[in-house]
Amino acid sequence: MSPSQTIEGIYRSHSRRVLATLIRLLGDFDRAEEALHDAFAAAAQQWTEETIPANPYAWLVSAGRFRAIDHIRRRTRFDAARSDIADSLYPEGEAMEIAESQEIEDDMLRLIFTCCHPLIPAEARTAMALREVCGLTTEEIAHAFLIPAPTVAQRIVRAKNRIRAAHIPYEVPGKAELPERLAQVLHVIYLVFNEGYSASSGPAIVRADLAAEAIRLGRLLLQLLPDSEVEGLLAIMLLQDSRRLARTDVAGDLMLLADQDRSLWDRGQIREGLALAALAMAAESVGNYALQAAIAAEHARAETSDDTDWRQLVTLYDLLLTASPSPVIELNRAVAVSMRDGPAAALSIVERLLHEERMARYHLGHAAKADFLRRLGRPDEARQAYETALSLCQQGPEQAFLRKRLAELDDTARQ
């Protein structure tokens, strides 16, 4: 592997943690982002196959902070006050054992809590977190939430300005404040995991680094605040991630749940996830994540696709819809209904959902409709729905899967 390929891989796996630490050290989002880019530019210039550091994370944090100090000093007349600012960013003799610092381990959680601070407008929190924690572009975030990219960019700028103007602390709040901040933080960690479990765009279906980071953050949060919803979220992530190796074949093509080689599922993760799901469902108050964990547990327990208890899954989706109405949840329920009652019953549900403006732009809704039509023996309508799904999809393996379905329809028509 060439140094440039190595650096690209390190950027994917380390850049968000490096950014989180630089934000803490430099005290400013924009300055930290500039330092992050400077650090990777320096790595591209200096690293060779023989000089790639054993701890690239520590090297990049150190390089980024040094360059931030240099920028500050060059941009000022170096009066005493400015000198103090620069010196405070890197006190002489400070140990740089980055990887061994407990503070560093918490930097990603600090970043999430900062992005989710109540003083930041609600519509900006998620966009800010996806940009800073996941590294998604404004265009990717806009596509995920079906809103214009300039709107996303404006929300992120306003959030950063609010953090700066209100002096929002870069910290995990005390235990007394944790419960009231929990829901938004859990939501962001789940979004991080979902981007790792099923990337919104690009050539690969999975970003294992993001999924692993979300699971790590879930474990850390459970230590800070034992709570049934944290247990539920961690259970969901473990149970879904247990299928990672089976979700694509050797060629990288997408494998549907029913077609996966279940011998590849991680049984250790499944055992841990099932235990956490049981704890979450046994709590005095059962929340959304506990119910989603129970749904994931039903799939994990099934030895084969035919063993799946679709009746129980529909019941769980009914409970989840009551607790948290959502067209995406209703779409997932429709898939379970199609397995319990047949595709005709599910098709009417999906067709109603696709009349909603947001769902009309959601490729998985059209893909589900296409599948139901295919199973009902209506190939022309199925082809149209697959083509619509393909036009809306930005994820490489999913696009390949949709093209495969279209080719299968064409083959059937020629027979």
Using 50, 70 and 90 to split pLDDT, how confident is the model at 105?
low
Helix pair angle (122-129, 107-115), 10° resolution:
150
85-89, 141-145, 333-337: segment of lowest average pLDDT: 85-89
> Which of 341 and 249 is assigned the larger pLDDT?
341
| pLDDT single digits (tens) 45-68 | 988 877 888 889 889 999 999 888
Residue 99: predicted pLDDT: 41
Give dist(CA 396, CA 205) in Å, integer: 7
Give dist(CA 369, CA 331) in Å, integer: 10
The yes/no answer on whether domain 314-415 falls in CATH 1.25.40.10 is yes
At 284, the amino acid letter reads E
pTM above 0.85? no
pLDDT at 93 over 50: no
Instruction: For the chain, give percent helix, strand, coil, nearest 5.
Output: 75, 0, 25
Residue 84: predicted pLDDT: 53
pLDDT at 101 over 60: no
Give Rg (Cα) of the chain.
Answer: 23
> Which of 129 and 1 is assigned the larger pLDDT?
129
Average pLDDT for 64-91: 65
Quick one: tokens of 177? 């404040």
CA-based nearest residue to 3, from 40, 52, 36: 52
pLDDT at 389 over 90: yes
pLDDT at 327 over 80: yes
Give dist(CA 337, CA 307) in Å, integer: 16
48-62, 98-112, 381-395: segment of lowest average pLDDT: 98-112
pLDDT at 341 over 90: yes
Domain ranges within the chain, ordered by starting residue = 3-101, 314-415
Torsion of the alpha carbons at 118, 123, 128 and 133, rounded to the nearest 10: 80
Average pLDDT for 308-329: 96
| pLDDT single digits (tens) 161-190 | 999 999 998 888 887 888 888 888 898 899
Q: Contact 44/56 with Cβ under 8 angstroms? A: no
Residue 91: predicted pLDDT: 46
Residue 200: predicted pLDDT: 74
> Which of 98 and 376 is assigned the larger pLDDT?
376
Alpha helices for 265-395 (secondary structure H): 267-281, 288-301, 310-323, 327-341, 343-353, 357-360, 363-375, 379-392
Average pLDDT for 11-38: 89
| pLDDT single digits (tens) 114-147 | 988 989 988 888 889 888 888 888 887 887 777 8
Q: Contact 136/130 with Cβ under 8 angstroms? A: yes
Give dist(CA 390, CA 74) in Å, integer: 50
- Rounded to the nearest integer, the mean pLDDT of the chain is 87
CA 96 distance to own-chain centroid: 30
